[in-house]
A = this chain, B = another copy of it.
Amino acid sequence: MGVDAVLPVVLIISIFSLVVAGALARQVLAADAGKPEMRDISDAIREGAEAFLRRQYRTIAMLAVVAAAVIFGFYFYNRGVKNIAEMGSGTAFKVTLSFVVGALCSGIAGYIGMFVSIRANIRTAAAAMTSLNRALQIALRGGAVSGLTVVAMSLLGVGGLFLVFNGLHDYQHVPLQIVGFAFGASFVALFAQLGGGIYTKAADVGADLVGKVEAGIPEDDPRNPAVIADLVGDNVGDCAGRGADLFESTAAENIGAMILGIALYPVFGMGGILFPLLARAFGLLATMVGVLTVRCREDEDPMNALNRGYLVTTVLAMIGFGISVRWLLRPAGRSMAHVHQWYLLGAGVIGILTAYAFVWITQYYTEYKYRPVRSIAEASRTGPATNIISGLAVGLECTGLPVLAISAALMGAYWCGKMGLGGIPGAGLYGTAIATMGMLAPCAYILAMDTFGPITDNAGGIIEMSRQPEAIRHKTDRLDAVGNTTKALTKGYAIGSAALAAFLLFRAYLDEVVKITGVDIGVDLTRVPVFVGALLGATLVFVFSSLAIKAVGQAAQVVISEVRRQFKENPGIMKGTSKPDYARCVDIVTVGALRQMVAPGLLAVLTPVAVGFGFKYLSRYGQPGAESVAGLLMVGTIAGILMATFMNNGGGAWDNAKKYIESGLFKVDGVVVGKKSEPHKAAVVGDTVGDPFKDTAGPSLHVLIKLLSTITLVLAPLFII
């Protein structure tokens, strides 16, 4: 088949995926929706989540409109300048349109993820009353709706814009125009993840501090006025936020890889540009099969079932990857040096193995089977201070192995690229791009597992709150534990792919600069302005994390005051004779979280812009802003990867150290030290500290890393003029 068939194949697979997602959604919705008392709770969660999303989207839409206007203004104002003029007519319009479409799709991706999850939760709970397998399937298929939709939409968006802007003929410029799509997606994702992350942890920390610590009532106790807000938070943070996050990842990385493909046009022709789309489309097909094969025995660990599905998906994705390489990555026509396709496939395999390595490392650092989490539990014996110290130490330590894995993957893929393409300039880098595509091939399945997490978490909460029998609770607890693991794994996976993709996005940025200026700038840290850019990039990561964490603290204070007020003014709540005002709590967190998300979001967006323009005007130092921004981008990415890993895994380890003590497996001198013991109280402190780490700052940093890349891609022409 010729290259002409690629885009149609990609678009057809994408649309087919949407159809399958629709069918899965219908199947989930058709399932039994449980008892009335369960439905009451689930309805409250649904209303709260939808209300939050409505308000959040309104705020984000306003910010996005401003951003779109600014982008359009800049491009339009400078349309006569040489390098913008060369991007073709209507560039201002096309970039802005791409931005708007990207932003819209990102919003829709988040919404759909949440739409299904807030309906799948109750159905999972209901199914758990009869069969573990059934509950597992509903939760996973609910998650798959989100996974399939997100990836399919990103392919449709990128492929569609490419087609509409006539990319098949103007392949030089169109990828540079549709970077707006990636920026739009990451712009929305940043605020979605920040807002959702702040919401979920403010509600969680607030509910815990007043409920568990002050009033001494258990988690998910219906007497706690913040308990619904807490359950809402799982959906808006994990589903909507992560959905938008992974949407922008797939979009940004596709576009970045396509831009790299332009540089290799003399080798592969259009095939090199379209390769990323095809590889991803085959990944979608693999995911569908993988999801549908998942089933588990009633007495089995559900994690094993999910792992089998992951394996099926990976193997199929690998085969699809091989077909894509064979089809598209071969010399275009006439004279070309050797292309050794096995090496290129090898780079893809490196990517897939890297995904496995990250999943394994994350498990090692966050599961209580292993030394790190146990060392935190051990340290809890001497109180909260040593618990915190040892959790911080674990978090800092756990950056080591992932970085070694990424380093090995980068070097290996670089080598494969060089060998596979016979040393053509840029060959090594294309190798790393292929590895990234390999790592992202099973992305839709990973996203399904991720959304699985909040669905089962909610299902557990519904069962708990509606006081169902112990045996059922036991089932949902098992699912919930699996959900915690999958949530941690997907975060590891997301940061790993971000690290691998970083290179691809840097190179895309630099290729764009070359195209505009004709000069291949390096990013030479020995030059003072570049070093300063780098220093500022790393600092951005620290200060951004601080703002995100502080935002949780401030929003949580509001929840705490409200819960205290309700307990005080209505003593019937604690006696169980009157119902707390859940809606007011939901409302208060919504307002608080949205107010708090603006500062860190704007800091992230404005810093690269300020550095770019600032250094442009300081260019008497002989440096265009472009190189300082590249320094900011690259070192900011390095710092972001490390900080996100620290926060995600540190937070996960604290959480599971607490769970380890609660599980009754933790013994001192042969005696079980469990719930309500002093070490447990210390572990609760650690868990609370870890919450904003792993669910607010960490995931927001994933988005920040990508946002730095996409914003510099969009604004590159403006830093240089």
Contact = CB atoms under 8 A, between A and B. Distances in A.
A93 interface: no
Nearest to A556: B386
Given A538-B642, A552-B389, A532 B396 contact: no
Contact of A397 (B382, B428, B531, B543): B543
A403 B536 contact: yes
Among A379, A560, A638, A684, chain B packs the most CB atoms within 10 A around the CB of A638
Interface in A479-512: 503, 506-507, 510
Interface string A525-567: 1101101101110110011011101101100110010000000
A63 interface: no
A641 to B, nearest CB: 8
A385 B621 CA distance: 47
A68 interface: no
A528 B397 contact: no
A126 interface: no
Interface stretch (A4-12, A313-321, A406-414): A406-414
A460 interface: no
B638 A389 contact: no
B382 A542 contact: no
Contacts of A384: 384-385, 685
Interface string A461-491: 0000000000000000000000000000000
A400 interface: yes
Contact of A546 (B393, B522, B532): B393
A400 to B, nearest CB: 5
A573 interface: no
A539 B689 contact: no
A189 interface: no
Nearest to A403: B539
A415 interface: yes
Contact of A639 (B390, B503, B538): B538
Among A395, A399, A641, chain B packs the most CB atoms within 10 A around the CB of A399
Q: A interface, how many residues as a size bin?
A: 35 or more
A382 B524 CA distance: 48
A638 B538 contact: yes
A560 B389 CA distance: 16
Contacts of A557: 382
Contacts of A290: none
A670 B685 CA distance: 28
Given A432-B528, A526-B510, A396 B538 contact: no
A390 B688 CA distance: 12
A689 B532 contact: no
A533 to B, nearest CB: 9
Contacts of A382: 209, 557, 560
A531 B639 contact: no
A301 to B, nearest CB: 31
A262 interface: no
Chain A facing B: main interface SS:
helix
Interface string A593-637: 000000000000000000000000010010000000011001100
Contacts of A410: 528, 531-532
A532 B407 contact: yes
B526 A506 contact: yes
Contacts of A205: 385-386
Contacts of A553: 379, 386, 389-390, 393
A634 B524 CA distance: 11
Contacts of A546: 392-397
Contacts of A507: 526
Contacts of A407: 532, 535-536
A689 B389 contact: yes
A561 to B, nearest CB: 10
Nearest to A502: B531
A385 B685 contact: yes
Given A393-B549, A642-B538, A646-B542, A689 B526 contact: no
A388 interface: yes
A256 interface: no
A411 B522 contact: no
A84 interface: no
A391 to B, nearest CB: 10
Interface of A: 205, 209, 213, 379, 382-386, 388-390, 392-397, 399-400, 403, 406-407, 410-411, 414-415, 418, 428-429, 432, 503, 506-507, 510, 522-526, 528-529, 531-532, 534-536, 538-539, 542-543, 545-547, 549-550, 552-553, 556-557, 560, 618, 621, 630-631, 634-635, 638-639, 641-642, 646, 684-685, 688-689, 692
19 contacts: A213-B383, A383-B685, A385-B685, A386-B556, A389-B552, A389-B689, A392-B689, A393-B549, A393-B553, A394-B546, A400-B542, A400-B543, A403-B535, A403-B539, A410-B531, A411-B618, A506-B526, A525-B635, A638-B639
A-B pairs with lowest CB-CB distance, top 5: A396-B546, A385-B688, A522-B524, A397-B546, A403-B539
Given A385-B689, A525-B525, 16 more contacts: A384-B384, A384-B685, A385-B684, A385-B688, A388-B388, A403-B535, A410-B532, A411-B529, A411-B621, A503-B528, A526-B634, A534-B634, A535-B641, A538-B638, A538-B642, A635-B635
